[in-house]
């Protein structure tokens, strides 16, 4: 890496749009964490021998809002190309990547499109590769909490229709975050709400109109998976209500060099219920498969 950004600022990506970033560490190895500023505190321990760039993807957090339809239409594929723009800007030959939730899908799309640039890739609670697939109950974390949360959100949409946008965002987030952890007592550890930011208040609309359709349109085949030659560690909580555990199995079976690290009593934010997983991720980024990471077959 020939250039390092300051601790926080903006990097310009496609068509002049800027993404906001924060950095931790000063090592020669570059690790990108898209949508990462909300994860900076728990993940800063990974910076022992690397530079981590936590950044808000386009239309999220403090990054520039995108209004031009031409730069919205491709949805998640814009995010893939933004990684490449950031890599070039920072002068790194390769980048390691950590993607959580739908960004766990995105980082593998990057490894498929830019195989020579992807170093080591970590998916945490990734969205399943085929959005159309319905998994049996034992391969999901679906339970009464998920059903109650969705019902509560439907009611809140009605009750808060005329409410202030910030209040509406906060109430909806307070309801939604319950599905991300197994134990209700851990809800307070999810410090992701940034309702003071217009991008976060508007994210739901952006997700529905642009991101989710681009994900639903994906039709990945064996030739696509084969392009992702980077080692991939897929971390998943068996009790994840937001992304089915079956999707993690599918990723691990389909990718040519992937292993699954399954956490039995963890949900969509597994580092909260199993903080030791960050040590496993550090080991993987340093070049070794952590204990418990296994290939998946059939």
CATH number of 107's domain:
3.40.50.1820
Residue 129 in any domain: the answer is: yes
Residue 42 in any domain: the answer is: yes
Residue 292 in any domain: the answer is: no
CA separation (Å) from 17 to 56, 72, 109, 275? Answer: 12, 12, 21, 35
135 and 235 in a single domain? The answer is yes
d(CA 283, CA 44): 14
- pLDDT score for 92: 95
Q: How far is CA 39 from the centre of its chain?
A: 10
Residue 290 in any domain: the answer is: no
- In residues, how long is the chain? 298
234 and 186 in a single domain? The answer is no
Total number of domains constituting the chain: 2
d(CA 156, CA 173): 11
- pLDDT score for 148: 95
Sign of the CA dihedral with 192 first, then 128, 241, and 159 last: positive
170 and 45 in a single domain? The answer is no
DSSP-assigned letter for residue 165: H
- pLDDT score for 2: 40
Provide the token pair at 19. 């993404």
CB crowding 277-291: b at 16 or more within 10 Å, else e? bbebbbebbeeeebe
In three-state secondary structure terms, 287 is: coil
Residue 233 in any domain: the answer is: yes
- pLDDT score for 6: 57
Query: Residue 168 sits in which domain range?
Result: 144-209
Residue 1 in any domain: the answer is: no
CB contact set of 246 (below 8 Å; sequence gap of 6+): 128, 133, 135, 136, 139, 140
Angle at 97 between CA 11 and CA 29, to 5 degrees: 80
49 and 127 in a single domain? The answer is yes
Domain stop point among 168, 189, 209: 209
Question: Could you tell me the end-to-end alpha-carbon distance of the chain, in angstroms, rounded to an integer?
Answer: 40
| pTM exceeds 0.85 for this model | yes
18 and 158 in a single domain? The answer is no
188 and 229 in a single domain? The answer is no
Q: How high is the mean pLDDT in each 10-residue block of the chain (298 residues)?
A: 66 91 94 95 93 96 93 94 95 97 98 98 98 95 94 93 91 93 93 92 94 97 98 97 97 98 96 96 98 93
Domain stop point among 209, 231, 266: 209
Residue 296 in any domain: the answer is: no
32 and 166 in a single domain? The answer is no
């Amino acid at each position: 890496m020939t250039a390092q950004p300051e601790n926080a600022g903006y990097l310009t990506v496609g068509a002049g749009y800027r993404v906001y970033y924060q950095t931790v560490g000063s090592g020669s190895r570059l690790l990108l964490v898209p949508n990462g500023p909300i994860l900076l505190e728990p993940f800063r321990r990974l910076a022992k021998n690397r530079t981590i760039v936590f950044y808000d993807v386009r239309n999220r957090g403090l990054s520039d809002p995108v209004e031009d339809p031409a730069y919205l239409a491709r949805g998640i594929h814009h995010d893939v190309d933004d990684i490449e723009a950031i890599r070039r800007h920072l002068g790194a030959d390769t980048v390691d990547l950590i993607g959580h939730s739908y960004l766990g899908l995105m980082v593998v799309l990057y490894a498929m499109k830019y195989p020579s640039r992807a170093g080591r890739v970590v998916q945490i609670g990734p969205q399943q590769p085929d959005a159309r697939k319905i998994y049996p109950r034992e391969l999901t974390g679906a339970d009464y909490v998920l059903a109650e949360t969705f019902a509560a959100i439907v009611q809140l949409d009605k009750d808060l229709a005329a409410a202030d946008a910030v209040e509406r965002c906060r109430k909806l987030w307070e309801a939604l975050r319950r599905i991300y952890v197994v134990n209700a007592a851990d809800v307070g550890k999810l410090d992701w709400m940034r309702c003071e930011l217009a991008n976060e208040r508007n994210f739901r609309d952006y997700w529905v109109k642009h991101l989710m359709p681009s994900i639903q349109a994906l039709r990945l085949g064996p030739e696509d998976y084969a392009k992702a030659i980077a080692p991939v560690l897929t971390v998943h909580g068996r009790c994840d209500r937001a992304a089915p555990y079956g999707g993690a199995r599918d990723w691990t079976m389909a990718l040519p060099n992937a292993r699954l690290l399954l956490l039995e009593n963890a949900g969509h934010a597994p580092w909260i219920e199993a903080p030791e997983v960050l040590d496993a991720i550090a080991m993987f980024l340093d070049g070794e498969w952590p204990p418990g990471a296994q290939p998946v077959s059939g």
